[in-house]
Structure 1
Amino acid sequence: MKRLLTAPLLFRTFALLLVLATLPAAWAADDIPKAAWSRPLGQPLENPGVAMKPGIIDDGYWQGAPVGGIGAGTFSRSYRGDFSRWHIKAGVHKYETIYANQFAVYEKTEGDNASYAQALLNGHPANGELSSWRWDYPVGAGTYYALYPKSWFVYQSPNLPARLTLEQYSPILPNNYRESSYPVAIYRWHAENTTNKTVTVSVLLSWTNMTGWFRTFTHDFAGTPNQGNHNEHMSEEIPGIGTMQGVLFSRKRAGSRPNEWDGQMAIASIGSPGVEVTYQTTYDASGDGKEVWAPFSRDGRLANNNKTWISEKEKLAGAIAVRFTLRPGEKKIIPMVVAWDFPVVQFGQGRQWYRKYTDFYGTTGLNAWKIAHDGLLHAAEWSDAIDQWQAPYLADKSEPLWFRGMLFNELYPLTDGGTFWGREAGSSTKTPAKFALLECFDYAYYGTLDVRFYASLPLIKFWPQIDKQVLREFADTVPKEWPDEGLWVWKTQLSGHPVTYKRKKIGAVPHDLGVPEGDPFYAVNEPGWQNTNDWKDLNSKFVLMVYRDYVLTGRTDKQFLRETWPAMKSAIEYLRQFDHGAGIPENSGYPDQTYDDWVTHGVSAYCGGLWLAALRAGEETAHILGDAKAAAEYHALFKKGQKAYITQLWNGEFFRYDTSEESRNDIQTDQLAGQWYANLTGLGEIVPRSMQIKAAQTIFDHNVMKFSDGRLGAVNGMRADGTVVPNDEAREVWVGTTLGYAGLLMSEGMQDQAWKTTWGLYHVIYESKGYWFRTPEAWDASGNFRAGMYMRPMGVWALQMTPEVK
């Protein structure tokens, strides 16, 4: 498979010939995996979740699976059929429907006088644009399915005699560091004639020239510049296959080197005997659209109008239509693609980077047509490769069907989470590409370390080179200092006067790698809410993630351990300054860990358990690298700390939140996070097994079952008397931390509790509150949310990856 993906053009052309030879085997709706999440097209949701407070991004539940490669930028089409969500500019979220970006279908049965043409959107433009088009595809006349990176639109209107299923995806493939980066969206139409008459079918794809649109940090396209945009009809003969035809969207540039907003987009398909591609090179996207709709609705063809001009301020669009006939019982697959080439990423402080895919297509921003060509060439091959990747997980009947779908659908942030993957402009292509995900668009920090502790599990499982590179990036920062002062917002609000802190101290592992509006990778540790230098979880989590990556990639990459070992030791030593004699770093009376609004005093279950696990990881790493002194030191420190941890926190039922009197009855869901990672990596007992099981069951009985009978997941903090801890974060369910707890349950053999806990999350996200493809960090007892499109829910892989302790 890998040889085919990287073969020369001649061999790839032969591959496409083989693919086209199999086209009669079209996709049927029954072939869509049963684990895929589904919803009737355009069906509204009763009582959807809303943002807890003003200022949080809340675009509503009209969402769908994204397309686009890792670090290439993404966009998505909702389950009602509109292209509305745009993450093309790295780190920036835009949500606005572009109505001229749309699919439409024409069908006519042989012998009938009437034909049927319909735009495939359950709705219509509110501003009168494209008024000649037939909008308002019937709500519920078909079904949307999603199993990321794929999704499907199954159209079942009585007006459509031929069955149509649109298969959508980008080539997101495991252990693939080339095609997974491509900026291309594949749309394969699977058409089947189940009638006893010949049916003529045509599928239209219209697209707006959006070059120049992705240059601001705003959440919409207000003030979008269109000056200098122009469209071009493209045609390319592919020997022995047919003619690739489409429209290329470009803009005039100020110089030869592209700015971040410069580039191209393209739409294309392939014409061949019996498959006709027609086109409209340019039309006004703000007009009535008659030049497209009049010919298309008449016979399924466009006018092959090659008129083009350079825009002054008007929005330009172009369209292609693919027309074919189906005999009774015949099936066909028709591929279409949308490709884009915006090679430059420029963050707020001006530094420029080149996206990963430019390693294969160059940095000119003039290669959208070539990318579209490769997308058409490999469409079927990539589809099969995705199916082969997912097949063993989907076939595992030991896991609930809903969970098998959730495993993949919660992977969408890998591409859609403001993802950056690339090299600094001017650097060698041999320089390892830097990578980072946003925590979320509300909290736009790159690589947030306390969060990726949960979120990065699928990265190390499927793209281990990327995850190790991220940890190298963090390791490089540990011995460095950023001396500039920042405002400590939480303490300032508490004290009533400004309180500042040093941005990054030597030995402290940073909270993040920077922000999109700043200078990521160069200006790290950006947050001002808390002073993260003295957080008690970051350094431990860094040590544990390094050891995890070594273990989960076969325990063979000693070079990775050698590179990061100095940072691991420094991270452990830095935390020891907060040890006041018990062998455990003590929390400092403010929210100094990932629960950054929940005050912690003294020895705490969460940070203390992570510390003990990190000591074990450090001890094992020292043994592997032959550092006997460090191994002995960490072993002794672990033994001392373990004794104090149990003595000060264990009450026979659970580990207390911390050693303060007011928290003595507080049950934290995440109290065994260190033990979870120990089970994940084979580090053994952080606390005795009997205590692990007892505490895990207590959490389930209280934080899960006494909180809406398990229908919402696990609340962060519950008291022994069954009341919720009176703190804003303690009152919330955090999806990612709940999943870490569920992973612990699985490893302890408590499968029923694990599935019940996780089903509560599934129920909120996919059944009741409409959080699909915008999974939040948190929701409250009403199901209302905070911080959508969050990174941490990728921790769903904890249930699949954490082995059972025997």
Structure 2
Amino acid sequence: MAMNDVMAIVPFIAKMLRLYVQESAKGQASVYDPFRKWMDNCYRGVPLGALGSGSIGRSYRGYFQHFQIFPRMFEEKPILANQFSAFVSRPGGKSYSTVLSAPKADVLKGIDRAGIGSWDWKLKEKNCTYNGLFPRSWTVYDGEPDPEIKITCRQISPFIPHNYKESSFPVAVFTFTVQNSGSTPADVTLLFTWANSVGGKSELTGNHTNSRMRTADGHPPVTFAIASQETGGVRVTCCPSFAMGPSVPGGEQFTAKDMWEEAKNRGAFGGAPRASASSRPGSSIGAAVAAATTVPAGGMRAVSFALSWSCPEVKFPAGRTYHRRYTKFLGLDRDAAAEQLAHDALLEHMKWESLIEEWQRPVLHDKRLPEWYPVALFNELYYLNAGGTIWTDGLPPKKTSFASSKYGSTAMESFSLDGFHPGDPAADGILRAMATAEERLEASSAFGTAPLGDSEESVGRFLYLEGMEYHLWNTYDVHFYASFALLSLFPELELSLQRDFARAVLHHDPRPMRTLDGATVPRKVLGAVPHDVGLRDPWFQLNAYMIHDPARWKDLNPKFVLQAYRDVAATGDAAFAAAVWPAVYLAMAYMHQFDRDGDGMVEKTAAPTRPTTSGPSPASAPTPAASGSRPSRRPPPWRASSATAAPRGTSSSGTDVRGACTTPSSGTAPTSTTTTAAARTAGPSWPTSSPGSGTRARAG
């Protein structure tokens, strides 16, 4: 990077730092934390969990890390008490034991030798092989811990395309296949231990019990469950609680060392105590499940474990709380849901795996594809699980309040298109929909979120972050590239997300927002597709991006139009097309202000926006409102007259619709010649059937 480039970004960096300090001083969530140190992620493997209920990472070295249970919270550091371990004994007194994890020396540094440091960390990594193909992985321990034993761990999470129930479950199953190549039978015990923690310092905050966990920093509680399936050849025993550290003088704590010795010497738990009292601050507790089986010489046995977690509430910084999608099927009781998830996963995971294999088989067996392609195609889907995704039940939030300000109470609320009738002229239909929305906002029933059309199914609402370090929900310009995965695998979620943005196009929030380039602009302008659906209060406070004015970006509106058309073409959903049409029309009309010479191409301006194709810009062409100007106080935009609104099939002259839904006095602009131009109302016809007549088809 040239020195001129470096000097050019120094002011921007200074502004970002100042913004972070200001937001931190107010206790507000920040889009980016420049001071957070991220750990090396090169050891990550396939994460656990499905869609939108939190995720837990598992390193290919065997340990659990990268906990993402709460919105925007990523805990990278591994919790070393969360482990699988193996114990093998044979006739004649031969015995072997090891933790099935091979962390680097720096990870093991500082662990308590009187606690988990007393366990047998003896795994030879050269004998281990890992393969990952999301949402499954396979780890082979060949000759570990017994030279004549081969253990294969198959990990699976219920990420099942076109499945909107189990794909929301926060659970994973680990099936261990134990092969004995020796000449004598082997008594094998597999141990699953889990600390009462969600990562970071949470395990040391105290007041934890192994029936329920309290979390710090105002986050909702979490319940974990670990379980194993007992069969005719597998005996399962539990250690409900053990302390990670040494025994307290005068106490009778059952410690991590005691737990390990009992599993090692007996192959099962017998005299372990019941669940202990709450942990004290500075200490942590855990639980363990042991599954014991005898593998005959030359034989094989299978043992399955399940890990589930239940955090039914999603709380955002502004105070609204939603329920996750899985609560629709399992209820709001954390403990009951966690237990049911683990139980059902042990019984159903073979069916899940069959469905996943059926989905992936055509690609894996296609000899025309290069070897690297299937691996990249499936493994890059990890972000739909571990990218901070949230999937709600679609119901209104628990806490709902209007923002009181001089701009009135409508600023934070979403619009509905229920009042739109496809037979109306387009602009008139839009204004009718807005008038209906205003009336609903003035009524007490306006609290919460309304569906975009009567046909919207209750598949919930979906969020994912632009990046783990860049906390913006549903950033639309990058969703443009990622959306094909959702459309192909979970088309109803893609349509739900698109409906949210269609609502947002008809949303106007005049509250002033200060951008980093020094301008004061409305938070959300009518007709503009938002950059994102927010950070502190998703769906209600749009555009957490504040580097530049999002209303001046020239790629967002065309991307919305293209995606809406693509989604209709892929799903055949006429009801969806009819519902989003007013927003599509308005989004195209909004782009006219950027076509200053009427040639159907938006112009490239000095304003910092995404690159666009530029055309001639005559000096006499009208200039859009400057991005830094404060809009004048106008009547609510949906009050605008529709007397001169252009009917469907024609387009209006270029006009600035930043502050209000104005209509031209005369004249029409040339029809657009490209799909990324201003308004193309003479393009492909949209369905005009009633919302209830649409059909749905799976894509991909």
TM-score when normalising by structure 2: 0.71
| Aligned-pair Cα RMSD in Å | 3.0
Q: Note if 1:205 corresponds to 2:192.
A: yes
1:534 deviation in Å? 1.0
Q: Note if 1:499 corresponds to 2:519.
A: yes
* Partner Cα separation in structure 2 for residue 530 and residue 56 of structure 1: 27
Equivalent position of 1:46 in the other structure: none
253 and 406 in structure 1: CA distance in 2 versus 1, 3 angstrom threshold: closer
Q: Note if 1:525 corresponds to 2:495.
A: no
1:182 to 169, 177, 185: 169
1:484 deviation in Å? 1.9
| Maintained 8 Å contact 1:449/1:511 | yes
Q: Note if 1:477 corresponds to 2:504.
A: yes
* Greater share of strand: 1
One-letter amino acid of the counterpart of residue 183, structure 2: N
Q: Note if 1:290 corresponds to 2:249.
A: no
1:125 to 95, 104, 108: 108
- With 289-298 and 164-173 compared, the bigger mean Cα shift is at 289-298
Q: Deviations over 1:153-175 (max 9, x none)?
A: 11113542221111112111011
Equivalent position of 1:141 in the other structure: 127
2:200 to 204, 221, 232: 221
Q: Deviations over 1:501-524 (max 9, x none)?
A: 221111000010111xx0011111
Other structure's SS at 1:317 match: strand
Equivalent position of 2:151 in the other structure: 164
One-letter amino acid of the counterpart of residue 323, structure 1: A
TM-score when normalising by structure 1: 0.62
* Partner Cα separation in structure 2 for residue 317 and residue 58 of structure 1: 25
* Partner Cα separation in structure 1 for residue 384 and residue 59 of structure 2: 18
One-letter amino acid of the counterpart of residue 455, structure 1: A
638 and 445 in structure 1: CA distance in 2 versus 1, 3 angstrom threshold: farther
Other structure's SS at 2:605 match: strand
Other structure's SS at 2:531 match: coil
| Maintained 8 Å contact 1:91/1:419 | no
Equivalent position of 1:451 in the other structure: 478
Q: Deviations over 1:104-149 (max 9, x none)?
A: 011223x342211100111363223212101142122111110000
Instruction: Please show how residues 323-722 of structure 1 align to structure 2 within 5 Å.
Output: 323-367=292-336, 368-422=338-392, 423=394, 424-426=396-398, 432-489=459-516, 491=517, 498-515=518-535, 518-553=536-571, 556-581=572-597, 582-593=599-610, 602-603=614-615, 630-631=648-649, 641=673
601 and 137 in structure 1: CA distance in 2 versus 1, 3 angstrom threshold: same
Q: Note if 1:98 corresponds to 2:79.
A: yes
* Partner Cα separation in structure 1 for residue 220 and residue 240 of structure 2: 22
| Maintained 8 Å contact 1:263/1:340 | yes
One-letter amino acid of the counterpart of residue 84, structure 2: F
* Partner Cα separation in structure 2 for residue 481 and residue 72 of structure 1: 31
1:432 deviation in Å? 4.9
641 and 274 in structure 1: CA distance in 2 versus 1, 3 angstrom threshold: closer
Q: Percent identity?
A: 31
Other structure's SS at 1:474 match: helix
1:269 to 217, 222, 228: 228
Q: Deviations over 1:514-550 (max 9, x none)?
A: 11xx001111111011211111100000011111111
Q: Deviations over 1:448-507 (max 9, x none)?
A: 110011101011111110000100000001121111222221x2xxxxxx3322211110
- With 351-360 and 325-334 compared, the bigger mean Cα shift is at 325-334
Other structure's SS at 1:501 match: strand
1:193 deviation in Å? 1.9
One-letter amino acid of the counterpart of residue 48, structure 2: V
Other structure's SS at 2:209 match: strand
465 and 640 in structure 1: CA distance in 2 versus 1, 3 angstrom threshold: closer
Q: Note if 1:309 corresponds to 2:315.
A: no
Other structure's SS at 2:391 match: strand
Other structure's SS at 1:467 match: helix
1:638 deviation in Å? 8.1
* Partner Cα separation in structure 2 for residue 186 and residue 510 of structure 1: 39
What stretches of structure 2 of length at least 5 have no aligned partner? 1-33, 247-254, 399-447, 452-456, 617-644, 653-667, 678-682, 685-698
1:304 deviation in Å? 4.6
* Partner Cα separation in structure 1 for residue 97 and residue 228 of structure 2: 20
304 and 563 in structure 1: CA distance in 2 versus 1, 3 angstrom threshold: farther
1:198 deviation in Å? 1.3
Equivalent position of 2:59 in the other structure: 78
158 and 561 in structure 1: CA distance in 2 versus 1, 3 angstrom threshold: closer
1:355 deviation in Å? 0.3
One-letter amino acid of the counterpart of residue 81, structure 2: A
| Maintained 8 Å contact 2:38/2:76 | no
Other structure's SS at 2:288 match: strand
* Partner Cα separation in structure 2 for residue 565 and residue 191 of structure 1: 58
499 and 458 in structure 1: CA distance in 2 versus 1, 3 angstrom threshold: same
Other structure's SS at 2:126 match: coil
1:226 deviation in Å? 3.8
Q: Note if 1:322 corresponds to 2:291.
A: yes
* Partner Cα separation in structure 2 for residue 483 and residue 252 of structure 1: 40
Q: Deviations over 1:358-403 (max 9, x none)?
A: 0011112222111111111112221222111111111111111211
What stretches of structure 1 of length at least 5 have no aligned partner? 1-52, 214-219, 232-248, 492-497, 605-626, 643-672, 676-681, 684-799, 802-806
| Maintained 8 Å contact 2:144/2:151 | no
| Maintained 8 Å contact 1:138/1:157 | no
1:260 deviation in Å? 4.2
Other structure's SS at 1:456 match: helix
| Maintained 8 Å contact 2:39/2:77 | no
- With 556-565 and 273-282 compared, the bigger mean Cα shift is at 273-282
640 and 318 in structure 1: CA distance in 2 versus 1, 3 angstrom threshold: closer
1:196 deviation in Å? 2.8
Q: Deviations over 1:696-740 (max 9, x none)?
A: xxxxxxxxxxxxxxxxxxxxxxxxxxxxxxxxxxxxxxxxxxxxx
1:268 deviation in Å? 0.5
* Partner Cα separation in structure 1 for residue 244 and residue 162 of structure 2: 40
* Partner Cα separation in structure 2 for residue 632 and residue 446 of structure 1: 35
| Maintained 8 Å contact 1:278/1:304 | no
1:252 deviation in Å? 6.7
150 and 349 in structure 1: CA distance in 2 versus 1, 3 angstrom threshold: same
253 and 297 in structure 1: CA distance in 2 versus 1, 3 angstrom threshold: closer
Other structure's SS at 1:460 match: helix
Equivalent position of 1:65 in the other structure: 46
Q: Deviations over 1:430-451 (max 9, x none)?
A: 8551111111121111111100
628 and 329 in structure 1: CA distance in 2 versus 1, 3 angstrom threshold: farther
One-letter amino acid of the counterpart of residue 269, structure 1: S
* Partner Cα separation in structure 1 for residue 488 and residue 607 of structure 2: 35
1:603 deviation in Å? 4.2
| Maintained 8 Å contact 1:70/1:172 | yes
Q: Deviations over 1:589-621 (max 9, x none)?
A: 13312x7xxxx68449xxxxxxxxxxxxxxxxx
* Greater share of helix: 1
97 and 499 in structure 1: CA distance in 2 versus 1, 3 angstrom threshold: same
* Partner Cα separation in structure 2 for residue 65 and residue 557 of structure 1: 34
Equivalent position of 2:628 in the other structure: none
